[in-house]
Structure formats: C-alpha cells, structure tokens
Chain A
Amino acid sequence: MKKILIIGATSAIAKQCARIWAARGDELYLVARNVEQVQIIASDLKVRGATNVFEYCADLNDKDRYVELLDAAESTMNGIDTVLVAHGTLSNQKKCEQSVEETLSEIQTNALSTIGLLTLIANRFEAKKSGTIAVISSVAGERGRASNYVYGSAKSMITTFTSGLRQRLHKSNITVVTIKPGFVDTPMTASFKKGLLWTKPAAVATKIIKAIDLKKDEVYVPTFWFWILLLIKVIPTWLFKKKP
C-alpha cells in the first residue's frame, strides 16, 4: 500500500489516476479547492477500493497554506510515498493578451504555485531520502505558440524546474517524473473540437501511472507526442514565426 498525496485532485487526469491507485488499495490524500467536488471523488475512491481517503480543501494560490497542507498530509497518513501535482487552468490566451492581471494570474496558478509546493516537498523528501514526485506539465511547454503561449510558458517553467530538481534529487534516491500530456478530452477542454490527436483522461492516467511505476524521467502521453514535438522543435524560428 502506497501513501499518495494528490494536489489538484478534482482535475480530470488526477481523478483517473486516483481511481487506478484506489483499485490497488492505496491510501490517498486529496487536495482541492472545491469542497463538494472533492467529497464526491473521495466517496467514489472508497468504493473503488482505496484503503483510506482524506480530503483537504485549499486554494493553491495561497502559499501560506503550503506548510500546513503538507504537515497535515504527512501526519494523517504517517508519511508520503508519492506526490502527484495536477492542478491547473487552461488560460484564455486572448484575455491574457489584453490584461496584465490575467496573464500573471495564469502564470501564478499554472507555474508559481506548483514551484512553491515542489520547493517544500523536495526538501522533505530529500531529508528522508525517498519518494516520487510526479508533475503534470504539458506539450504546450515545449515551444511557445501564438495560440497559447501564456499557458505554454507556465508549463515550460514547470518542465525546466523539474528537470533541475530531478538532477538535484537523483543522488537522494528520489524520482521526479515530468508528465507532458497532449490534447486530453476533459471538462477543461470541453469547448475544443476533438480530432484524432485527442486522448481520454483514463488512457492518459494509465500511462502516467506506468511512468511513475517505472520511475521514468519525462514522458509524453500518449507517446506519439514525442515525435510531433520533435518535429515542431526542429522547425527553424524564421519559418515557425510565419506559421498561421
């Protein structure tokens, strides 16, 4: 039985990951903003076989809560084996372009809050020389595009931060998994037209759990995004900027 802390537990991807862990009989500590929703998810995970499910409500943009949150999770479960950081919002690019507040708030939610939490988690895991940290980044963080570069740059920060963190924590026997999903069919992307490149959250979760189990470093989910991004990244900038 693993003791797992899930931050952003109401996100569609986190919910599906939690279901897989629940079926294995793991102990889960759910952190989310929406009380009603996290309770619904907790009851569901109990029926699905989780040994224990705990709920903690917090707005993750409130950095003063981080220590309290981690203390609570650690003491309730008597330790933490794995952390999944999955919270986030899909930024409205057009709105961001017109508003400093909107842009900075998206960066705050999608990058700074995660980085704040990871700073504390890293030290706690380093002290006990064990643990797995899995963070949901995005393929959007690989190269800035006109359509979503605010969200993309936040995710880019996550990818870079976890890359450094991985190197630092490697000698302490800690795994840092950076997960880069492509297009996932979730309530967050409800307004998008879905095509061949879209994946269901349950399928994404299966891949994420596998990556965590196998202690992978960076994973694209599904894997074909690795090839797409490889292609996108080699396009010369003079040409890339002309792309409609």
Chain B
Amino acid sequence: MTKKVVISGWGNYPKQEAQLLKPSTCSSLQSELQKEKSLIPRGMARSYGDSAMAPVVIQTTSCDHFIEFDINKGLLTAEAGITLREILKIIVPNGWFLPVTPGSSYVTLGGAIASDVHGKNHHIAGTFGQHVKSMRVLLGTSDIVTVSSTKNVDLFRATCGGMGLTGVIISATIKLTPILSSFINQKTIKADCVESACEAFEMNSNATYSVAWIDCLTKGKSLGRSVLMLGEHAKSGGLELASKDPISLPIYTPAALLNSMTIKIFNEAYWHKAKHDKTQTIPLMPYFYPLDVVGSWNKFYGKAGFLQYQCVIPKDNGVTNMRKLLTEIAKSGQASFLAVLKQFGKANDNLLSFPTEGYTLALDFKLTMSAIKTLHKLDNIVADMGGKVYLSKDAVMRETTFKKTYPKWQEFELIRQSYGAIGRFSSEQSKRLGLA
C-alpha cells in the first residue's frame, strides 16, 4: 500500500494528499491502472494548477526510454515519461530539434502532448500535437490503442490537449526539425507600448521564433511596453548542446521579496538594459529555456505558491482588447514577475487545444485571495472578448467560463465516453470544470 504524499502543480497551489503510483514499466502501469477506480496521469508536474492532481495519481517518469531514433528521417519514438531535455541531449548533436518546444525542457513528452503545448514558433509551426505522427494510448478499458491523424482520429484530437483525461499516453513518435547549429541568432526590438508591440509582431510574422517580455505595471501611454525577441536557427557554430544541471533553490524564499516595488525595479532595469535592434548569437538552451537555469524558481513565490495566468484573445480588435486587459491588470496592482506576450497563428482541430489566432498574454500572480478574484474578473473579460484561458496554467477557472470558452467540451466528453475514459480518468481540474 502506497503511503499518501502531498502533491501540487508547479504553482504550489492548490496542494493535496494523494496516493502516488510510480510504475517502472509500461506493463506495470497497465496493471496499476486496472487496480484503481479513477486516476490521472502525471509527468514532471510542470502544469501550474491542479490538472495533474487527483486522489490517485500515476506518475509516468520511470517510463522514460527511447524506443527508436531514425537519424536520417528525423523521426523519434520514445516512451511518454521521457523529458524534452533528455530528448534534446540526443537529437541536437545529431542535427535535429524539437518541432515545437515550451519554455521549460523539464516537461515530459506525454505532458507536452496532453497540454498540446506551443512555443515561440506557434505562428509558423502550430502546437506540439501537430507534429505527433502517432502515439499509443492506454485506455480506461486497459486496452492500448494506436492513434494518429489518420487512425482513431477522434481520440487523437481529444488526446492532444486532452489533459490526460482520455487515457495514459504510453509512447509517441514525433517528427523533428532539422538544424545546422545549436545556436540561435536573436534580434531584440523594443516597443514602447502595447500597440507598437503588436505591430512589431505583425511586421515580423515571418521570423521563425518570436516572443516578447511585457511590462504589466506601467500605466498610461507606456502601458504594455515590450521587448520583442526574434530568433532564427544559426547556420554555423556546431551542434554541441551545453545543458548544465540547474542551480537548485533548496528553500522557499519569503514571498514578500516579490512585491510591486521589487518587480517595478526589475522591470525598469530590464527595459533599460535591452537594446533596440540588437542582434546576438546565443546558445539554444538559454534562448528557449531561460528559467531552467534555476531548478525550482517556483519557490521564489514562497510556500503559499502562485497563480499563473495565460489567456488568448482573438486577433480582431486584438490590440484594443489587449490594452483593456492590461489596463485591468495594472489597475489591480498585483505585480507579475514575468509577463510574456506573443502572437499566435491559426488554431488546430484538437478539441481542448488552447492556441487560437490572436494575442496571448502570460503572467504570474502571487497567491492571495484578491489575486483569485482578479483572475475571475479577467476570465470574464477574456471570455467576453471571445478568448480563453490555458488549461495547463489554470487553477481557479469556473465551470461556466470553461464551458463558454471551450465550446467543443461536449464533443470531448462523447469521445471520452466512447473510449471508456469516463469514471476512469479525472483530475481536480476536470472536476472543477464540470467534466465527467
């Protein structure tokens, strides 16, 4: 009998006592699943809220083996518990890169699919799921099925972005992107308000990678001043991958260290340090995963934890709406240490996938009652604008908001029903959002 442990997502909120199962092989994973009534799969637990939390959780990180790597075709097959970081160590020296990568390399392959993650190249490459050639999914019925964009298509579309609610992803084959160098040519563009930031995204829509740091504290004319970082894979510099182990932050720092004053100082310094129209060549790891340098940066927010909020608003009226949203955030006075703005490309067909064409904003809030209230307020504004909130970041969204902003949820439920997932896979998040 496994003892209960306290688990949480990356935001350290909420927390819960859970039975944590850690099968060491896929076949033991299958037998563990048979024993339990209902559970949720969990990888590196890097989703921020309660999406990988439940009274019984099955952790897949020991099922982390490579299965096959076709170096000529750039096709990689691995078990779902492997991290993107481990994948990078093998593929980069061989001239390949992940087709899409989120901002942390400490996520599992299965987690990347279940969250249908996006990266700085969404406007060109779409989401992670769009590069999955096929995968094997363990269903609630204990059967393992192969799914792809041509086989069991409905399950494929529900599983990519399905938050682990359709079954346990066992393994997947992904198509990689060829690279000539492990370096990135980065160009920095300064935009003195949100309008010029959005314009800069529009003008640089052919850049392979683009993302902006955005100041969420400045009010008035400079509201939403941003530093855009564009990136292209370099053509020389070698394929060596420098992946140092992170510095770990062993203890929680007092949450009071992060207040509107310190963040204002940080933002001011960041803005003035950035040079307009500057090009530099930097290694791939710090470009894509700047925060991976500190092992557990989430502890900066103290023991109480934090809330991460990421929303997308449609392109139509996007600039005006983004100003409204930022005004609301600045007005709340609830500082965000890290805020990111990005332009998304077209949405895909996956039922609960987050990205849709428009602008996305991501920021964190120190956990307080008023922060939760602010998030609910923002949820309503975003929903009225026709936007939505990213499920992998969410910890507080209401059922009504979810069902309004993810209109394909009913179709999602029907597919779950037909593949035996209902009653077998559920998380604290899925319960909160009113999924069966």
User: Which positions in A face B, CB cutoff 8 Å?
Assistant: 12, 23, 36-37, 40-41, 43-44, 46-49, 186-187, 190-194
A23–B243 alpha-carbon span in the complex (Å): 14
Query: B103 near A: Cβ within 8 Å?
Result: no
Interface residues of B (CB under 8 A from A): 1-3, 5, 21-27, 62, 65-69, 78-79, 89-90
CB neighbours (8 Å) of B21 from chain A are 190
Give chain B nearest CB distance to A48 CB in angstroms.
6
A187 & B65 in contact (Cβ 8 Å cutoff): no
Q: A37-B25, A40-B65, A46-B66 are in contact. List 18 more A-B contacts (CB 8 A).
A: A12-B24, A36-B27, A37-B24, A40-B26, A40-B79, A43-B65, A43-B66, A43-B67, A47-B67, A47-B78, A47-B90, A48-B66, A48-B90, A186-B24, A190-B2, A190-B22, A191-B1, A191-B3
List, in ascending order, chain B residues with CB within 8 A of A47's CB: 66-69, 78, 90
B3 touches A193 (CB 8 A): yes
The list of the 7 closest CB pairs from A to B, nearest first, reads: A47-B66, A44-B65, A187-B24, A47-B69, A44-B66, A190-B22, A40-B65
Cα–Cα, bound, A187→B25 (Å): 10
Contact of A36 among B22, B25, B68, B79 (CB under 8 A): B25
Q: Are A191 and B2 in contact (CB under 8 A)?
A: yes
B358 → chain A closest CB, angstroms: 39
CB nearest neighbor in B for A10: B24
Taken together as a complex, chains A and B put the C-alpha atoms of A70 and B253 apart, in Å, by 54
A187 and B22 contact, CB distance less than 8 A? yes
- Closest Cβ neighbor of B66 among chain A residues: A47
CA distance A12 to B63 in the complex (A): 11
Partner of A194, one of B5, B26, B68: B5
CB neighbours of B89 from chain A (8 A): 23
Whether the Cβ atoms of A187 and B62 lie closer than 8 Å is: yes
Q: How far is the CA of A1 from the CA of B386 in the complex (A)?
A: 60
A17 to chain B, nearest CB (A): 15
Residues of B close to A190: CB separation below 8 A: 2, 21-22
Minimal Cβ-Cβ distance residue in B for A23: B89
Residue of B nearest to A41 (CB): B65
Q: How far is the CA of A194 from the CA of B24 in the complex (A)?
A: 17
Contacts of B78 in A (CB 8 A): 47
Q: In the complex, what's the smallest C-beta–C-beta distance from A19 to chain B, in angstroms?
A: 9
* Contact across chains for A193 and B90 when beta carbons are under 8 A apart: no
- A191 CB contacts on chain B under 8 angstroms: 1-3
List chain B residues, Cβ under 8 A from A187: 22-24, 62
Which residues of chain A come closer than 8 Å to B26, judged between CB atoms? 40
Nearest chain-B residue to A49 (Cβ)? B90
Most buried by A among B3, B5, B26, B66: B66
Q: List 17 A-B contacts (CB under 8 A).
A: A12-B24, A23-B89, A37-B24, A40-B25, A40-B67, A44-B66, A47-B69, A47-B78, A187-B22, A187-B23, A187-B62, A190-B21, A191-B1, A191-B2, A192-B3, A193-B5, A194-B5
Shortest CB-to-CB span from A132 to chain B, Å, is 26
Residues from chain A with a CB closer than 8 A to the CB of B5 are 193-194
Report how far A37 CA is from B23 CA in the complex, Å: 12
Shortest beta-carbon distance from A87 to chain B in Å: 14
Inter-chain CA distance A28–B68, complex, in Å, is: 18
A46 and B66 alpha carbons, distance in the complex (Å): 9
Give the distance to chain A from B128, nearest Cβ to Cβ, in Å.
20
Residues of A within 8 A of B2 (CB): 190-191
In the complex, residue of chain A having the shortest beta-carbon distance to the beta carbon of B24: A187
C-alpha spacing A190/B1, complex, angstroms: 10
Roughly how many angstroms separate A41 CA and B67 CA in the complex, as a whole number?
9
**CB closest residue in chain A, given B76:** A47
Closest to A43 in B: B67
On chain A, the residues within 8 Å of B23 by CB distance are: 187
B residues within 8 A CB of A40? 25-26, 65, 67, 79
Q: Tell me the smallest distance from the CB of A45 to a CB of chain B, in Å.
A: 8
In the bound complex, CA of A36 to CA of B29 (Å): 14
Minimum CB–CB distance from A26 to chain B (whole Å) comes to 16
Question: Smallest CB-CB separation from B28: which chain A residue?
Answer: A187
* Measured CA separation A43–B68 after assembly (Å): 7
A36 (CB) vs chain B CBs: closest residue? B27
Q: Which residues in B have their C-beta under 8 angstroms from that of A49? A: 90
Measured CB to CB, the nearest residue on chain B to A39 is B65
Residue of B nearest to A44 (CB): B65
Tell me the complex Cα distance, A191–B2, Å: 5
Q: Is the CB of A12 within 8 A of B62?
A: yes
Q: Which residue of B lies closest to A46 (CB)?
A: B66
Q: How distant is the Cα of A40 from the Cα of B67 in the complex, in angstroms?
A: 7
Chain B contacts for A41, CB-based, 8 A? 65
- Least CB distance from B160 to A in Å reads 24
Tell me which of B5, B21, B65 has the highest count of chain A C-beta atoms within 10 A of its own C-beta.
Answer: B65
* Chain B residue nearest to A206 in the complex (CB): B245
Residues in B with CB closer than 8 Å to A36 are: 25, 27
In the complex the two chains form, what is the Cα distance from A47 to B62 in whole Å?
A: 17
Q: Kindly provide the distance from the CB of A67 to the nearest chain B CB, expressed in whole angstroms.
A: 30
Interchain CA distance A36-B25 in the complex, whole Å: 9
Q: Which residues of B contact A194 (CB under 8 A)?
A: 5
Give A12 Cβ to nearest chain B Cβ, in Å. Answer: 7
Q: How far is the CA of A44 from the CA of B62 in the complex (A)?
A: 13
Report the separation of the CA atoms of residues A80 and B208 in the bound assembly, to the nearest whole angstrom. Answer: 49
A37 to B62, CA, bound (A): 12
CA distance A36 to B28 in the complex (A): 11
**For residue A43, which residues in chain B have a CB less than 8 angstroms away from its CB?**
65-68
CA distance A23 to B1 in the complex (A): 37
- For residue A201, which residue of chain B has the nearest CB? B62
Please name all residues of chain A whose beta carbon is closer than 8 Å to the beta carbon of B1 when the two chains form the complex: 191
- Chain A residues lying within 8 Å of B79, measured Cβ to Cβ, are 40
CA gap between A47 and B238 in the complex, in Å: 21
What separation, in Å, do the CA atoms of A41 and B69 have in the docked complex? 14
- Nearest CB in chain A to that of B69: its residue: A47
- Give the distance to chain A from B63, nearest Cβ to Cβ, in Å: 9
User: Complex: how many Å from CA A190 to CA B5?
Assistant: 11
| Set of chain A residues within 8 Å of B69, measured between Cβ atoms | 47
Residues of A within 8 A of B90 (CB): 47-49
Most chain B CB within a 10 A radius of its CB, from A49, A187, A190, A194 = A190
Most A Cβ at <10 Å: residue of B1, B3, B79: B3
- Docked CA distance A48–B90 (Å): 6
